Amino acid sequence: MEQSSNPGTVYLVGAGPGDPELLTLKGARVLGLAEVVVFDALIQEGLLSMIPKDAELVFMGKRCGRSCPSQDEINDALIAHARTGRTVVRLKGGDPFVFGRGGEEVLALGAAGIPCEVIPGVTAGVAVPASMGIPVTHRGKSGSVAFVTGHPGSGLDDPVNWESLATAVSTIIIYMGLTRLPEIAERLIAAGRASDTPAAVVSQGTGKDQRQVVSTLDNLFADACAAGIETPALIIIGPVVGLRKQFATLTAAALPAEP
């Protein structure tokens, strides 16, 4: 790639949880200006259709258990494309700063002298439960919520103290935790969280292929396996999950279909 004396700007754009219509207005505007788009595996086809036809598309997707680019390789790609002087959009599922490793990309770009801007996105931890009729907080049911990762990372200690978390908050939202759910559930229950706490797991949240299972904390993993739920998935634990049946009926979609 031919370098320019003036580097282009990198925009870290949160694409939202899945449904292309949940992209923010600012995110859509910046995406429309892109000359290079570096995108991940969670990006829906509807969002890719919003990219200018002459923009260069660079897939840098990550999938659990499969060969994928390292974070250093992604950082290097962003820097290399920006040094050509073009406008680069790093399109990331959810929000760049909520388990999206956006902070690492900002630091790498800053060290390389590349200007960047973060465009926040709608995070799955709030939007996916809402799409099911589950409020993450509700008066009388939940006055606190924690967003945690279920993935400890390569060679790292578990970043979450599950024993302390078990009774510290009403609602627990777990990103990337499906494969560890039996261990996580066991630790939460041993530390005082009721085994029959309502719980749910959702894959492809807000997308056209969304799949979900509602159960209890002690049975959730078995029920998710029986239903064929696959990663990546979001786990919701807390009394608010018990509101789903009532709320889903009251919040049934009323918008007209797209022409």
The residues assigned a catalytic role are 40, 62
**162 Cβ partners below 8 Å, 6+ apart?**
184, 187, 188, 191
3-state secondary structure of 52: coil
Distance CA 120, CA 15 (A): 8
Burial 219-242 (b: 16+ CB within 10 A, else e): ebbebbeeeebeebbbbbbbebbb
Give the span between the Cα atoms of 11 and 223, in whole angstroms: 40
Sign of the dihedral defined by the CA atoms of residues 223, 227, 230, 233, in that order: negative
The CA distance from 46 to 158, in Å, is: 36
In angstroms, the CA 97 to CA 122 distance is 11
Do 202 and 195 contact (CB within 8 A), yes or no?
no
Helices H, strands E: what count in the chain?
9, 10
What single string gives the DSSP state of each residue in 181-210? HHHHHHHHHHTT--TT-EEEEEESTTSTT-
Which tokens is 154 given? 């390569």
